[in-house]
């Protein structure tokens, strides 16, 4: 196969330059170590009374932290008005404040905020609990003094949710604007303590969700231990980001005979992070028969295993494609025609004029992709196996699901669990039937006659202000009050059944799927993951449970990491970093716990997760415009599909003549206080569900209760980065669905007006 190769002289020059760079870097590091050693020799450390996390504080809040124009929630990007505004000027300001309990400050709206003493029940100071609410777009302060018997160096170790500023002895010593969950010792700042009392002021900003901080002052011994812990985490994370692939760049597509050599993409990183170890590669054909050579063209699976020097089990898998020896796709001058990118800065007329030229280059790149990426090999294998269907392919007949099915079957075979678990049954018949979404009258729905028009007026204004199209469906007692499109784009691009990005509403969908396993007694919420994935521990402080996966208490971070659910051994990649996790110790919002739970559902059910979603959830529910590519994000769906899921929740697990899970199981999905299970986590959270409460601006006026919310306090759902809406009011029997791809201008203003119009439409009985 003829490919471009670098001339030998260029390779020689590159190698020489690399050697010189490594040598110079080693000299630089040696000089750094020399300086560090001198500093260690001369430095004087403060004498701190305790290195424990500080739990006793004076607190004051809450103060405004307004979002950017057009946004619903502050997104932790500059400017941060809450952090940048000094709300303490009446008593010396942030640099000179010396508060006492009872000291009062005025908020911009004229109301008062008062300092009060607060003793946290655990290491993390939870501002939502301390200030007794679930706050959005605010900041608050915490104050204490740190006592040192002698002046000297110390380390301030803290974590915050979200951005934070710290003043020590009146000086700003730390300023970090970031959106994150609380992690102990995430930020490490070297400070100088004076002898005696050292005033310490913390200010933490909040967008939405969890809100608080954790802080301690540590000495040299603790700092060294912390550095070792951080190094371990960095090493394991580096390894988790390494991948196996064919040694030859173009060998994802190879010819019959010997299999390509499989190697780490970054072997030096692997060796430096966890050590050197051999790997064993086993090959399987499309019938899952183990083979030593590729005797015919088609799909082949490589299963790789090894064991690190510390005893950690390594498991990975790949798909490769064996092409016919006489077929060379790069010689076919393939063209790939690409549609014009709508709403792009590209001139459409110029694009159309160059359509053939673009197609030639896109075709060349596509062929290269088929040879050099695993996804390309997976696609090529799918193309090889395709047969005429005489119909449109099903949503379960995609290249990804076929790939996932085959790798899961191999995984269950290798683990010896092919017949271990009972079959997950399809939803059973319901008697009597429960409400389904249907057309009906305002009287049947129990709303005012003008309810639909009042909601429609708000939504029309909303679209005019934002120009962001959306579709809504609002129903009460199953009766649809309004189901309409709000879009005036050319050609009416948005239809009533158009699918939009659901983002983290996906988590609620995954929770409903998992509920079927709970309901049928196949998996228990508090089962350890290791009960089903044998490499994981089932005892000790590293045990991860299914409840932790769904309530963001595994210690995992991020979304769609390491290939997501399409990685057959994603669970093993997670396992490879278990030493830096602290299950049940912190609440950190993430998507990887959901994916880990998905790997459990796969091995137990014998169905790849997205096949399982379609066959055991979407199809029985009558959901037809929904696709899913991750368990915490990456779902697209229509307003009606999402509303059906909402009605399922409102019915406590059933829809029409089908029971997906029982009311008793539904109760297990609801948000609950996690400290009942994990004493250090003082947060309410459910299985893909949270309380969705919006304060009524009229609360406290006249006869309106001070705690009045728009819709009832017992409203569940989940938020979404796309600003899509799913709210299920359990008390008022209302389902609210709105699908869109982004917030657009004035989202928060019209979001509240939207909920207000719905709330006002309810006939009180």
- The C-alpha atoms of residue 407 and residue 125 are separated, in whole angstroms, by 44
- The C-alpha atoms of residue 371 and residue 377 are separated, in whole angstroms, by 7
- The C-alpha atoms of residue 273 and residue 277 are separated, in whole angstroms, by 12
3-state helix, strand, coil in the chain (%, to 5): 35, 25, 45
Q: How many CB atoms lie within 10 A of CB 41?
A: 7
For tokens 């986590």, what's the residue? 681
Comparing C-alpha atoms, which of 681, 641, 662 is closest to residue 508?
A: 641
- The C-alpha atoms of residue 352 and residue 349 are separated, in whole angstroms, by 5
pLDDT of residue 40: 52
Average of pLDDT values for 370-380?
Answer: 96
Cβ contacts of 743 within 8 Å, gap of 6 or more:
70, 71, 72, 466, 468, 723
The DSSP secondary-structure symbol of 618 reads I
Average of pLDDT values for 299-307?
Answer: 98
Cβ contacts of 185 within 8 Å, gap of 6 or more:
157, 158, 159, 216, 226, 229, 230
Query: What average pLDDT does the structure give for the chain?
Result: 91
Asked if 648 contacts 728 with a C-beta cutoff of 8 angstroms, the reply is no
Comparing C-alpha atoms, which of 164, 177, 206 is closest to residue 67?
A: 206
Query: Of the given ranges (11-15, 582-586, 692-696), which has the lowest mean pLDDT?
Result: 11-15
Strands (E), 312-393: 313-322
Q: The tokens of 70 are what?
A: 């057009």
Give the bridge partners for 58, in sequence order: 117, 143
Asked, as a colleague might, if the bond just before 432 is cis with ω within 30 of 0, I would say yes
Q: Can you tell me whether residue 73 is helix, strand or coil?
A: coil
Average of pLDDT values for 102-119?
Answer: 96
Top mean pLDDT of 125-139, 566-580, 685-699 is at 566-580
- The C-alpha atoms of residue 472 and residue 460 are separated, in whole angstroms, by 11
- The C-alpha atoms of residue 713 and residue 133 are separated, in whole angstroms, by 12
- Helices marked H in 520-613 — which ranges? 546-550, 570-575, 592-605, 609-613
Give the bridge partners for 138, in sequence order: 64, 206
Confidence category of residue 3, pLDDT binned at 50, 70, 90: very low
- For residue 429, CA distances in Å to 520, 650, 651, 718 come to 14, 18, 14, 28
pLDDT above 60 for 705 = yes
Asked if 605 contacts 424 with a C-beta cutoff of 8 angstroms, the reply is yes
- Helices marked H in 633-724 — which ranges? 639-650, 663-669
- The C-alpha atoms of residue 509 and residue 646 are separated, in whole angstroms, by 10
pLDDT above 80 for 765 = no
Average of pLDDT values for 209-218?
Answer: 92
- Give the Cα-Cα-Cα angle 696, 700, 704 (nearest 5 degrees): 75
Please give the residue that has the higher pLDDT: either 598 or 7: 598
Query: Of the given ranges (492-501, 570-579, 659-668), which has the lowest mean pLDDT?
Result: 492-501
Q: Can you tell me whether residue 197 is helix, strand or coil?
A: strand
- For residue 542, CA distances in Å to 181, 314, 553, 577, 677 come to 20, 18, 12, 11, 15
Asked, as a colleague might, if the bond just before 362 is cis with ω within 30 of 0, I would say no
Asked if 332 contacts 371 with a C-beta cutoff of 8 angstroms, the reply is no
Asked if 108 contacts 138 with a C-beta cutoff of 8 angstroms, the reply is no
Q: The tokens of 190 are what?
A: 């070297």
- Quick: pLDDT tens for 632-672: 999 999 999 999 999 999 999 999 999 999 999 999 999 99
pLDDT of residue 7: 38
Q: Which helix (H) or strand (E) holds 237?
A: helix 220-240
- The C-alpha atoms of residue 499 and residue 188 are separated, in whole angstroms, by 44
pLDDT of residue 493: 81
pLDDT of residue 6: 35
Comparing C-alpha atoms, which of 720, 358, 293, 326 is closest to residue 508?
A: 720
Question: CA torsion 598→604→609→612, rounded to 10°?
Answer: -130
pLDDT above 90 for 205 = yes
Phi/psi for 572 (5° steps) reads: -70, -35
Comparing C-alpha atoms, which of 750, 756, 718 is closest to residue 737?
A: 718
Average of pLDDT values for 193-211?
Answer: 94
No. of helices (H) and no. of strands (E), the chain: 20, 35
Average of pLDDT values for 14-41?
Answer: 40
Confidence category of residue 50, pLDDT binned at 50, 70, 90: low
Average of pLDDT values for 406-426?
Answer: 97
- The C-alpha atoms of residue 549 and residue 543 are separated, in whole angstroms, by 11
Asked if 604 contacts 524 with a C-beta cutoff of 8 angstroms, the reply is no
Asked if 547 contacts 526 with a C-beta cutoff of 8 angstroms, the reply is yes
Q: Which helix (H) or strand (E) holds 357?
A: helix 355-372
Average of pLDDT values for 704-729?
Answer: 94
- The C-alpha atoms of residue 563 and residue 566 are separated, in whole angstroms, by 6
Average of pLDDT values for 107-116?
Answer: 95
pLDDT above 50 for 185 = yes
Q: Which helix (H) or strand (E) holds 760?
A: helix 747-761
Cβ contacts of 521 within 8 Å, gap of 6 or more:
none
pLDDT above 50 for 34 = no
- The C-alpha atoms of residue 689 and residue 694 are separated, in whole angstroms, by 16
Asked if 297 contacts 323 with a C-beta cutoff of 8 angstroms, the reply is yes
Confidence category of residue 557, pLDDT binned at 50, 70, 90: very high
Instruction: Report percent pLDDT > 70 for the chain.
Output: 94
Q: Can you tell me whether residue 116 is helix, strand or coil?
A: strand
Give one DSSP letter per residue of 473-539, joined into a string: EEEETTEEEEEEEE---TT----TT--EE-TTHHHHHHHHHHHHHHHTTSS-TT-BGGGTSTTS-SS
- Quick: pLDDT tens for 322-361: 999 999 988 888 999 999 988 789 999 999 999 999 999 9
Give the bridge partners for 144, in sequence order: 200
Average of pLDDT values for 411-437?
Answer: 95
Comparing C-alpha atoms, which of 62, 86, 79, 46 is closest to residue 167?
A: 86
The DSSP secondary-structure symbol of 665 reads H
**Which pTM does this prediction carry?**
0.86
pLDDT of residue 247: 96
- The C-alpha atoms of residue 373 and residue 220 are separated, in whole angstroms, by 47
Phi/psi for 296 (5° steps) reads: -155, 160
pLDDT of residue 683: 85
- The C-alpha atoms of residue 690 and residue 321 are separated, in whole angstroms, by 44
- The C-alpha atoms of residue 292 and residue 300 are separated, in whole angstroms, by 11
pLDDT above 90 for 698 = no
């Amino acid at each position: 196969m003829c490919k471009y190769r670098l001339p030998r002289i260029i390779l020689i020059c590159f190698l020489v330059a690399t050697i010189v760079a490594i040598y110079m870097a080693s000299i630089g590091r040696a000089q750094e170590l020399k300086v560090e050693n001198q500093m260690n020799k001369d430095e004087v450390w403060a004498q701190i009374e305790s290195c424990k996390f500080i739990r006793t504080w004076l607190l004051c809040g809450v103060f405004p932290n307004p979002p950017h124009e057009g946004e619903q929630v502050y997104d932790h990007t500059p400017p941060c008005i809450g952090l940048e505004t000094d709300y303490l000027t009446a008593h010396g300001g942030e640099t000179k404040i010396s508060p006492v309990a009872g000291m009062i400050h005025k908020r911009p709206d004229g109301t008062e905020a008062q300092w009060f003493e607060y003793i946290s029940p655990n290491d993390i100071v939870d501002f939502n609990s301390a200030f007794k609410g679930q706050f959005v777009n605010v900041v608050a302060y915490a104050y204490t003094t740190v006592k040192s018997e002698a002046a000297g160096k110390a380390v301030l170790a803290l974590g915050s949710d979200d951005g934070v500023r710290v003043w020590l002895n009146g000086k700003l010593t730390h300023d970090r604007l970031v959106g994150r969950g609380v992690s102990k010792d995430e930020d490490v700042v070297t400070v100088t303590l004076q002898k005696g009392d050292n005033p310490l002021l913390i200010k933490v900003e909040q967008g939405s969700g969890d809100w608080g901080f954790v802080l301690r002052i540590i000495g040299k011994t603790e700092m060294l231990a912390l550095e070792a812990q951080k190094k371990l985490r960095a090493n394991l994370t580096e390894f988790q980001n390494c991948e196996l692939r064919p040694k030859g760049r173009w060998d994802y597509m190879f010819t019959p005979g010997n299999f390509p050599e499989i190697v780490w993409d970054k072997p030096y990183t692997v060796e430096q992070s966890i050590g050197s170890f051999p790997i064993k590669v086993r090959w399987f054909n499309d019938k899952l028969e183990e083979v030593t050579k590729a005797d015919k063209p088609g799909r082949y699976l490589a299963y790789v295993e090894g064991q690190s020097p510390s005893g950690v089990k390594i498991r990975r898998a790949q798909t490769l494609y064996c092409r016919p020896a006489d077929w060379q796709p790069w010689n076919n001058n393939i063209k790939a025609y690409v549609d014009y990118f709508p709403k792009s800065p590209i001139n459409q007329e110029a694009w159309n004029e160059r359509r053939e030229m673009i197609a030639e280059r896109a075709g060349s790149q596509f062929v290269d992709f088929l040879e050099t990426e695993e996804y390309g090999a997976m696609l090529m294998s799918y193309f090889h196996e395709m047969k005429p269907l005489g119909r449109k392919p099903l949503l379960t007949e995609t290249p990804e699901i076929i790939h996932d099915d085959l790798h899961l079957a191999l995984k269950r075979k290798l683990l010896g669990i092919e017949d271990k678990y009972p079959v997950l049954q399809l939803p059973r018949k319901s008697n009597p039937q429960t409400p389904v979404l249907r057309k009906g009258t305002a009287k049947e729905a129990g709303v005012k006659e003008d309810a639909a028009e009042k909601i429609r007026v708000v939504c029309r204004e909303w679209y005019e202000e934002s120009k962001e199209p959306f579709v809504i469906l609002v129903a009460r007692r199953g009766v649809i009050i309004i189901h309409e499109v709000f879009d005036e784009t050319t050609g009416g691009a948005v239809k009533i059944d158009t699918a939009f990005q659901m983002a983290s509403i996906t988590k609620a969908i995954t929770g409903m799927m998992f509920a079927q396993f709970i309901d049928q007694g196949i998996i228990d919420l508090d089962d350890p993951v290791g009960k089903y994935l044998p490499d994981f521990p089932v005892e000790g402080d590293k045990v991860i449970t299914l409840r932790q996966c769904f309530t963001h208490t595994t210690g995992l971070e991020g979304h769609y990491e390491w290939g997501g659910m399409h990685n057959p051994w994603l669970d093993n990649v997670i396992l490879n970093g278990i030493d830096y996790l602290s299950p049940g110790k912190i609440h950190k919002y993430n998507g990887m716990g959901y994916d880990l739970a998905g790997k459990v559902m796969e091995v137990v059910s014998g169905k790849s997760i997205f096949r399982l979603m379609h066959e055991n959830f979407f199809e029985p529910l009558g959901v037809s415009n929904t696709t899913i590519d991750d368990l915490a994000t990456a779902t697209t769906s229509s307003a009606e599909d999402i509303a059906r899921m909402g009605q399922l929740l409102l019915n406590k697990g059933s829809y029409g003549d089908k029971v997906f899970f029982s009311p008793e199981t539904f109760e297990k999905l609801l948000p609950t206080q996690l400290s009942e299970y994990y004493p250090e986590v003082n947060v309410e959270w459910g299985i893909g569900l949270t309380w969705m409460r919006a304060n009524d601006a009229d609360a406290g006026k006249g006869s309106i209760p001070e705690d009045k919310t728009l819709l009832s306090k017992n409203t569940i759902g989940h938020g979404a980065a796309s600003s899509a809406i799913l709210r299920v009011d359990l008390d008022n029997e209302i389902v609210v669905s709105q699908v869109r791809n982004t917030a657009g201008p004035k989202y928060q203003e019209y979001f509240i007006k939207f909920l207000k119009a719905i709330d006002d439409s309810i006939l009180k009985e």
